Structure 1
């Protein structure tokens, strides 16, 4: 119901003033309307009374009735200006009074009813607002309860999953009632179905290993008597006969009369840990059995690089007792030619990275004897993979080192012998070439001259002699060419002019004989080498070019001689088929000969090749030469 107009007058004086104003307004309107409508005055006053009663209530409504009667009597009922009404006007006056009073009462009743409805509406709105806020609070509380319930559910799920992962069950034991409450994981540990009722104490006692029952019972009795917590490791026997190792802990939860009435605790399945410990014990036993019977020295270092274990072989080999060697700084009783700081760095690197390390050195033993040892250092890890120590195994390689030294000495002597043999061959070739040049070649040339002279002197008189002389000269020329080729094969004359001229002549001869394009390039104008080194470089290049012709199938080759800071570098490369350098041919000695020649003058040999990529041979000569860059 809409009662907004009644709210215009909220105080009692305002309501009475409003009623008076309504009567005055109606009087003015009635006076104006009475000129045209005879009955307009009564209607206007009735409207004023109704409006006053509706807006102001019973008091203002009655006031409006009284004022309207006076105004109506004063202005619109005869005789004028008197409370006495003419008899003819009396019905009219009575009808007006009754109507005005009825309208005023009805207006006042409507005002009271509207006010009551407004109050009821206001109280209802307050009640609705209060119920709304209460409902919102209940919804928020319900949401909070749901959130707490969800968190509790998740916490229970996390707890159950955590217990399952860690193999830890929890329990609650009421001593007086002899009742138990178990978690799901506790059922699994003891081999019971999860939905089952927890067994009684007697049934649990039957599950405990017979050899552990008395100790478990005594421990529980002692804990209850002393009102204390307990922790005990024992075994349980499952229904299938398998055995589990568990660790049980308990803490007092509540007391009655100063005595413990309830315990809470956990039971952890430590079977895997016990198995690991057994394996570690067996492994340690096997390690000690092996280490103590090894002829090699075995030392274990902790994270501070201190010895924490030495085997008997260490004591025998190094002449140091275990009491002198263990848990002391490495500087004590250190008798190696290696620096102790360098050895510590190797051990620390192994302990940090886990990468094995190696060390070699001589060790001075009591009595003045010295032995050479090879040390292999590896990291040791615990069950979690963390490095906890380093193990060093030392092997006496003195005899092997002496054998290697003897082998190296033999190789050196063999190379020297090969060098001398090669030098002797070159000298013999040089001598034979000189003998051929100075002996046979000169004799053939003299023979040719004599035959030419003979033909000139007697040829005119004896034509047959002239023809025979020309034939002999032709044969002598062939013999001279053969001798010259033999001399060149034994030792080219270009070698006497230096390595640059020799290599250039060799390349020209290679191109002329094979038709393979070959270019000689150098950044040197002159170079001074020992005769043996010059000959060796020439023979190496000669053998490399010979291999190109025999095996590569190349169409182009290069010979390069250049200066380097530490000597000279000779390189021969081709664009041939290449080969697999890891595979060697039993009857192929070309590269072996080149390598040995290089080693004879302490040079370096490098080979770069693979199938389909050509071949490059690179030789470096030590800085025993003087050269001038072109």
Structure 2
């Protein structure tokens, strides 16, 4: 049916429906509906579809209600629906088949749409995946190369350019072996042919490859045979530039060699004790560690038990206690101990170490070093022996010097003093006898000269007394230490104008040995000389105390105060001398100074030599 005929038929159907519905609605007679459906059935048989007829039915019914301004009642709709259903009965089966077909077509259409969307999604994923892998290939630190069975390059990834300097397209078609170092090419060919003849087995090889700038770069390559690809039989090679890694390994090897050499020279070995739960006995030793213990590196085994068993028996408990404390406190440690080497030689070691933990503060290992200090300890023993011998020699020299001072002082006092006294008496007697026999004009001159000679003799006698006192004050021998200190203090006060105060809790010092009294007196003299020379003081307090079995002598001034550099200066011979004198008797000298507040010298001498 043409488009024009279809429009005419629709208008005819609408006219029939309108007449039938209008009569039914206005007059309420169902014959109008019966006639309308009957005529429309005839028209339906002439070519108009059921769906079109139903649409026209509803369209006309709506026009009637709108034109007549009639509100459709439920009864009218029901009656109209009944007639329409009766009218459609002969075509119901056909209509249902149409509906089933439409539903099936709709389902297939939905499935087709879903399949199309799924294919689009797969296409997008393939596109993204392609872009992703293309990006990986272009930016990878590895080189991906495909060669045929002759070694001709079929593909080279873009990373070839920034790793080896070659534009990847320019390598295609060239034989890969021409770029390999002549010393490595046979090794690489052997691996290549082995891969080619052994199916899909992968092999690894390291070789040198010429960079575009002429340098040789070390490559580590993994190659695999793909015998059946779209391009035919090929070998896929993944290569990584390990030049810098090899340099670092070489540097590490050199550093280890230098460390081993340094450890051997210094006789220092290093160790590492793994503290994992599964094997707490495992240790790693450096080569020098093996040599220190008299063992052979690479031949003898090492472990914590071996380490402990080599410790000298009487030192073993102490060493284990130090290690246990370090583990408990997660701290460092240092200890000297002896070992018994494999050849039964006893050596002395200095061990140091520390405990290492992970991010959770869990102990993972202990590391440390041992240094063979046997020769050093032997030298220390000899040095102590020499020092003791020197101390005894110095003590003997000081004692001899003091004895010589006493002898000289007594000789001068006894002999020279007496001779000067006799000389003065002789001059006086001679002056009296001579003046009686001389003329009167010479008597005055002779008496004047005699007086001058007597005065000179008195001066000499005083000098002799002063010298003998400085060599060995008589008051020290005659009256004791307290009177000697007081007398010496007064003498210093006369010469310097210092305000010197003295106090003691001792009544008498006749119980003191001569060497103790002499030592305290000489240290006191040196301390006072230092005050006069360096302190710029106005007053000095001197105190002698007996506390338990020790004598304490304190000299406290109010001067500028000595500092540490001055106390420890190598040129501070006076301080060194005081300390040596005290040390001869098992005593000590302590010096404290505060800037602009003064200096205190404290001497401790035990009553019985320590």
- TM-score normalised per structure 1: 0.52
Counterpart of 2:356 in structure 1 is 380
Aligned pair partner of 1:592 in 576, 579, 592: 576
Please give the residue correspondences for 1:355-394 in structure 2 after superposition, counting only pairs within 5 Å.
355-382=331-358, 387-394=363-370
Counterpart of 2:274 in structure 1 is 302
Distance 1:177 1:282, change over 3 A: farther
For residue 602 of structure 1, give the secondary structure of its aligned residue in structure 2: coil
Please give the residue correspondences for 1:121-140 in structure 2 after superposition, counting only pairs within 5 Å.
none
For residue 339 of structure 1, give the secondary structure of its aligned residue in structure 2: helix
Counterpart of 2:490 in structure 1 is 508
Aligned pair partner of 1:581 in 564, 568, 579: 564
Structure 1 residue 552 corresponds to structure 2 residue 552: no
For residue 560 of structure 1, give the secondary structure of its aligned residue in structure 2: strand
Please give the residue correspondences for 1:434-473 in structure 2 after superposition, counting only pairs within 5 Å.
434-455=410-431, 463-464=443-444, 466-473=447-454
Counterpart of 1:564 in structure 2 is 547
Structure 1 residue 521 corresponds to structure 2 residue 499: no
Q: d(CA) in 1 for partners of 2:127 and 2:318? A: 65
Structure 1 residue 498 corresponds to structure 2 residue 480: yes
8 Å contact 2:295–2:342 — kept in the other structure?
no
8 Å contact 1:559–1:573 — kept in the other structure?
yes
Q: How many residue pairs get matched? A: 383
CA drift of 1:416 comes to: 2.2
8 Å contact 2:539–2:558 — kept in the other structure?
yes
8 Å contact 2:537–2:559 — kept in the other structure?
yes
Please give the residue correspondences for 1:150-549 in structure 2 after superposition, counting only pairs within 5 Å.
200-208=128-136, 294-295=263-264, 296-303=268-275, 306-320=281-295, 326-329=302-305, 332-336=308-312, 339-382=315-358, 387-455=363-431, 463-464=443-444, 466-496=447-477, 497-527=479-509, 528-549=511-532
- Output one character per residue of 1:415-450: Cα deviation in whole Å (capped at 9) or x when no partner: 222222222221221111111111010111122233
Moved more, 565-574 or 479-488: 565-574
For residue 350 of structure 2, give the secondary structure of its aligned residue in structure 1: strand
Q: d(CA) in 1 for partners of 2:162 and 2:421? A: 114
Aligned pair partner of 1:617 in 596, 601, 608: 601
Structure 2 runs not aligned, ≥5 long: 1-117, 145-156, 164-244
CA drift of 1:562 comes to: 1.6
For residue 361 of structure 1, give the secondary structure of its aligned residue in structure 2: strand
- Output one character per residue of 1:446-494: Cα deviation in whole Å (capped at 9) or x when no partner: 2223334445566577654555544433222222111111111111112
Q: d(CA) in 1 for partners of 2:560 and 2:127? A: 85
Aligned pair partner of 2:587 in 594, 600, 603: 603
8 Å contact 1:299–1:393 — kept in the other structure?
yes
For residue 305 of structure 2, give the secondary structure of its aligned residue in structure 1: coil
**RMSD after superposition:** 4.2
Q: d(CA) in 1 for partners of 2:412 and 2:343? A: 67
CA drift of 1:592 comes to: 2.0
Q: d(CA) in 1 for partners of 2:141 and 2:564? A: 72
Distance 1:460 1:418, change over 3 A: same
Counterpart of 2:44 in structure 1 is none
Q: d(CA) in 2 for partners of 1:380 and 1:281? A: 25
Distance 1:389 1:510, change over 3 A: same
Q: d(CA) in 1 for partners of 2:257 and 2:321? A: 30
For residue 413 of structure 2, give the secondary structure of its aligned residue in structure 1: helix
Q: d(CA) in 2 for partners of 1:375 and 1:385? A: 24
CA drift of 1:541 comes to: 0.8
CA drift of 1:325 comes to: 5.9
Q: d(CA) in 2 for partners of 1:178 and 1:599? A: 101
Counterpart of 2:173 in structure 1 is none
Q: d(CA) in 2 for partners of 1:508 and 1:566? A: 29
Distance 1:446 1:624, change over 3 A: same
For residue 378 of structure 2, give the secondary structure of its aligned residue in structure 1: helix
Q: d(CA) in 1 for partners of 2:119 and 2:604? A: 97
Q: d(CA) in 1 for partners of 2:126 and 2:601? A: 86
Q: d(CA) in 1 for partners of 2:330 and 2:257? A: 25
Distance 1:454 1:309, change over 3 A: same
Distance 1:348 1:178, change over 3 A: farther
- Output one character per residue of 1:332-381: Cα deviation in whole Å (capped at 9) or x when no partner: 52332663332233223434445432111232334442222111112334
Q: d(CA) in 2 for partners of 1:179 and 1:556? A: 105
For residue 576 of structure 1, give the secondary structure of its aligned residue in structure 2: coil
- Output one character per residue of 1:249-300: Cα deviation in whole Å (capped at 9) or x when no partner: xxxxxxxxxxxxxxxxxxxxxxxxxxxx99x999998997676553222222
- Output one character per residue of 1:372-392: Cα deviation in whole Å (capped at 9) or x when no partner: 211111233446775421212
8 Å contact 1:303–1:351 — kept in the other structure?
no
- Output one character per residue of 1:59-99: Cα deviation in whole Å (capped at 9) or x when no partner: xxxxxxxxxxxxxxxxxxxxxxxxxxxxxxxxxxxxxxxxx
Q: d(CA) in 1 for partners of 2:469 and 2:385? A: 37
8 Å contact 1:336–1:363 — kept in the other structure?
yes
For residue 412 of structure 1, give the secondary structure of its aligned residue in structure 2: helix
Q: d(CA) in 1 for partners of 2:291 and 2:579? A: 45
8 Å contact 1:208–1:237 — kept in the other structure?
no
